[in-house]
C-alpha cells in the first residue's frame, strides 16, 4: 500500500515537473503523451534523447494533445557518453525552480538491448561492455541521484521515480545476458532507493512486448531461434502491445497509487 503521508498528496492535476529519458520515440514518447493529459497547468516537461528531430516531433505531439498549460523543453544528449554525462544531467535541470511544482516525476526509460545475437561466451570486449552498462545502468543512477537532490523532500510535494524495466530483469532469457543483467541491476537499485527514500514513490514497470523498434531488433537478430519465432508469430498475429495501451496502464498504476514502493509491476499484472 502507499505510504499514508504520501498518499494524501495529489498524484495528478497539479503543477508537475516531468523528466523523461528516451523520449524521442516509442514508450518514452507514449509516456509523455499520457502524462500530458493528467498533469495540472503550469507543469514543465523535460524530454531528452539523442535524436533532436525525434524530440521535436514528441514535443509537437504533446502540444497537440494538451493544447496549453504546460511547457515542454527538449535536451538533446547521449546518456551513454560518460565523458559528457555530468553536463547532460545538469542541463536537464537548468533553470528549473523546484518550488513551483507539487509533483516531481522522473521516468528512466532510455536504454538499449545490446547485441542479442551474442551468447555469454562472446562477451570478451570490455570497452563494449563498459559502454553498454554506462548507458543502461550508470546514467540511470546518476540521473536519479541528481533528481533526488534537486527535488528534496518538502511538505506538500510528491516525488515519483519510474524505472522502465522488463521481465528480463527478474527472469533469465538466452542471448539477453547484458540486457537481463542491466535490467536486474536497475530493478535492485530502485528497490534499495525505495528503502532509503520512503517518501518517494518508486515503481519498476514492465510494459510487456510492445510493437517498437526494439521488438523489431529482437525479431531480426535474437540468437535464440525459438524465442525469435515466438516474437515473429506475435507480430504476425497482432499480439504485440501498442505503445498507447501499455502507457495508459502505467498511468493508471500511478494514479491508483496502491503499488508497494520499489515493486516490479508488469502490464499483465494489471491486464490479465
pLDDT value of position 2: 52
Share of the chain above pLDDT 90, in %: 94
CA angle 77, 160, 11 (to 5 degrees): 125
Please, which residues have CB within 8 angstroms of residue 6's CB and are 6 or more apart in sequence?
158, 199, 201
Q: What is the pLDDT of residues 24-75, one digit of tens each?
A: 999 999 999 999 999 999 999 999 999 999 999 999 999 998 888 899 999 9
Name all domains of the chain by residue range, CATH numbers in brackets. 4-209+243-264 (3.40.50.720)
CA distance 17 to 100: 9
Task: Determine the Cα angle at 42 with ends 18 and 90, to 5°.
Answer: 40
Contact between 58 and 24 under an 8 Å Cβ cutoff? The reply is yes
- Which three cell numbers mark 141? 543512477
Going from the C-alpha of 78 to that of each of 73, 164, 201, the distances in angstroms are 16, 18, 27
Whole-structure pTM value? 0.94
DSSP track, 150-211: HS---TT-EEEEEEE--GGGTS--TT-HHHHHHHHHHHHHHHHHHHH-TTEEEEEEE--SBS
pLDDT at 247 over 80: yes
Q: Which of 179, 173, 180, 184 is nearest to 227 (CA)?
A: 173
pLDDT mean over 72-100:
96
Report yes or no: 24 and 51 within 8 Å, Cβ to Cβ.
yes
Nearest Cα residue to 96 out of 78, 77, 69, 73: 73
Amino acid at each position: 500500500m502507499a505510504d499514508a503521508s504520501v498518499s494524501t498528496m495529489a498524484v495528478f492535476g497539479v503543477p508537475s515537473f516531468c523528466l523523461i529519458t528516451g523520449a524521442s520515440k516509442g514508450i518514452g514518447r507514449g509516456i509523455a503523451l499520457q502524462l500530458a493529459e493528467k498533469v495540472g497547468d503550469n507543469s514543465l516537461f523535460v524530454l531528452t534523447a539523442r535524436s533532436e528531430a525525434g524530440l521535436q516531433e514528441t514535443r509537437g505531439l504533446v502540444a497537440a494533445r494538451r493544447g496549453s498549460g504546460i511547457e515542454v523543453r527538449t535536451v538533446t544528449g547521449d546518456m551513454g557518453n560518460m565523458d559528457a554525462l555530468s553536463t547532460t544531467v545538469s542541463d536537464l535541470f537548468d533553470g528549473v525552480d523546484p518550488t513551483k511544482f507539487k509533483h516531481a516525476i522522473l521516468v528512466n526509460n532510455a536504454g538499449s538491448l545490446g547485441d542479442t545475437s551474442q551468447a555469454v561466451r562472446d562477451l570478451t570486449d570490455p570497452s563494449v561492455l563498459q559502454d553498454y552498462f554506462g548507458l543502461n545502468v550508470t546514467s540511470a543512477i546518476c540521473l536519479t541521484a541528481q533528481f533526488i537532490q534537486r527535488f528534496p523532500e518538502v511538505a506538500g510535494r510528491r516525488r515519483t521515480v519510474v524505472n522502465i524495466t522488463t521481465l528480463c530483469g527478474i527472469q533469465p532469457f538466452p542471448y539477453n545476458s547484458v540486457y537481463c543483467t542491466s535490467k536486474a541491476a536497475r530493478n535492485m537499485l530502485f528497490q534499495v532507493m525505495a528503502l532509503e527514500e520512503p517518501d518517494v514513490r518508486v515503481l519498476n514497470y514492465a510494459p510487456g512486448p510492445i510493437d517498437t523498434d526494439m521488438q523489431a531488433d529482437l525479431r531480426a537478430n535474437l540468437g535464440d531461434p525459438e524465442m525469435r519465432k515466438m516474437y515473429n508469430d506475435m507480430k504476425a498475429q497482432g499480439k504485440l502491445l501498442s505503445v498507447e495501451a501499455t502507457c495508459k496502464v502505467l498511468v493508471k498504476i500511478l494514479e491508483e497509487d496502491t503499488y508497494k514502493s520499489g515493486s516490479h509491476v508488469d502490464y499483465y499484472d494489471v491486464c490479465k
